[in-house]
Each structure stands twice: as structure tokens, then as C-alpha cells.
Amino acid sequence: MSDAVAILVFARPAADDAARKRFVSSAYTNRRVLARLTEHVMRVATGTGLPVLHSTDLITHQGSFGDQLSAALQAVFDLGHERVLVVGNDCPGLTPPMLLGAADALRSAAVVLGPDRRGGLYLLGISRPVFDANRLAQLPWQTPALSRITRHLFASCAVVELVRLSDVNQLTDLQAYRTTNTGVGVFVHALLALIRLPFKAGYTLTRQPPTAVFWPGSGLLRGPPVA
């Protein structure tokens, strides 16, 4: 049994992600962009030196989002980990120091929440004693109510809430990250270049209504406290 905080990268296969999230009209380009986002968060997570697991190695990603997430968390706990940070591939602003700060917080709190700016979560840290697969699966994942209702669910626990970060669900979300810190900015510029290449060949940019998606920061805000 490991006392270390494990990081679970919860990211569905790029083809599945591309079916619901489009940055451009080319499905092929969407898959490439989403695959790069997953590769990026895997590098960030690995950079912490903590144990890192990918959801696609643990579950088949079938059923509702909540069911999939709960199953992946259960699989990590079954491996013997007592504390888990869950992140997705939709928050390029995450850095190794942010994740290490969240891990430190989870060692003294039962739950850590990283709220995104749309009412969802970019990070969820949870310890085994408060994990309830059924209740977690029933949270309103991928809706603007997720952060608020998750706070309510864990109101009786020791909770730490992180700073708010922006997730990416459409092209304008990516563009907003261009002015962030150097490392993130370089990555986002590379993604935008990947998008622009097929665009010049005749593809048109598309926009879709933002959807709050699950996933967690430095600047930890202590106190009671995200899709």
C-alpha cells in the first residue's frame, strides 16, 4: 500500500474526445489536438515525480462520464493508493509545481478541489476514506453546477480549494492561453500552429457552446471549497 499521492490522468481516447469537442471542422485535426493535450498533461504529471496512471490503462471508458470516472478512481484505490489527484487534458495551465501543491494539500485534507471558470472542476483530489463511487458518479459532471454541488457533497470534510483556472473547449479558449507563462504559451502556440495548417488548406473554424468538463494550482486557498 502506497502513502504517496497518485495522479490519475482521466482522458478518453482522442477519437472519442473529438466526437464531442471540436476546435476545427477536421475530425483528423481535432484528434491530433486532443492527443497533444493528453500528451502534455501526461508530461506535466510525470514531471512531479509522483505515481501517474492513465485512465485508458484502467477502464474501457464505457457508460456515463461519472461512471467512468468513478470506475477509474476505484481502480487506482484498488492498486493500493490512499490519495488520488484526478486531472483531465483540458487545462494546459497546469504545471508540476501546481500539482505538487495540490498533493501536499491532499496529505492533510480529505478533498482538494480545483474549480474552473465555468463552474466545473479541472482537478479533484480525494482520499480513500471519503470515496463513494456511487455518489461521485451521480454528480452533475460536465455542467456549470459541478463545482458548487461537489462542495456541498463534501461539506462535512476537510476541503482545500485551489485557484481557479481556465479549461479549453473551443478555439478561443486555446487562444486565451497564448499570453500565459512561457512554458504553457509555447505549447499552446504549437497547438494553434497545428490547427492553422489544415485551416489554410480550406477547412473552416467551428465553435461550439462550452461544456464544463471534469478535471484540476499554485496559490492554494485554504478553506472549504468542479466538470
How much is the pTM?
0.82
Cα distance between residue 207 and residue 24, in whole Å: 8
Cβ pair 80, 87 in contact under 8 A:
no
Of 17-21, 26-30, 129-133, 152-156, least confident by mean pLDDT is 17-21
> Cα Rg for the chain, rounded, in angstroms?
17
What confidence score (pLDDT) does residue 204 get?
44
Q: For the chain, what is the mean pLDDT?
A: 85
Q: What number is the average pLDDT over the span 95-105?
A: 97
Cα distance between residue 35 and residue 12, in whole Å: 10
What are 8's strand-pairing partners?
Answer: 53, 86
Cβ pair 70, 59 in contact under 8 A:
no
* pLDDT 10s digits, 141-195: 989 999 999 999 999 999 999 999 999 888 888 888 887 766 788 888 888 888 8
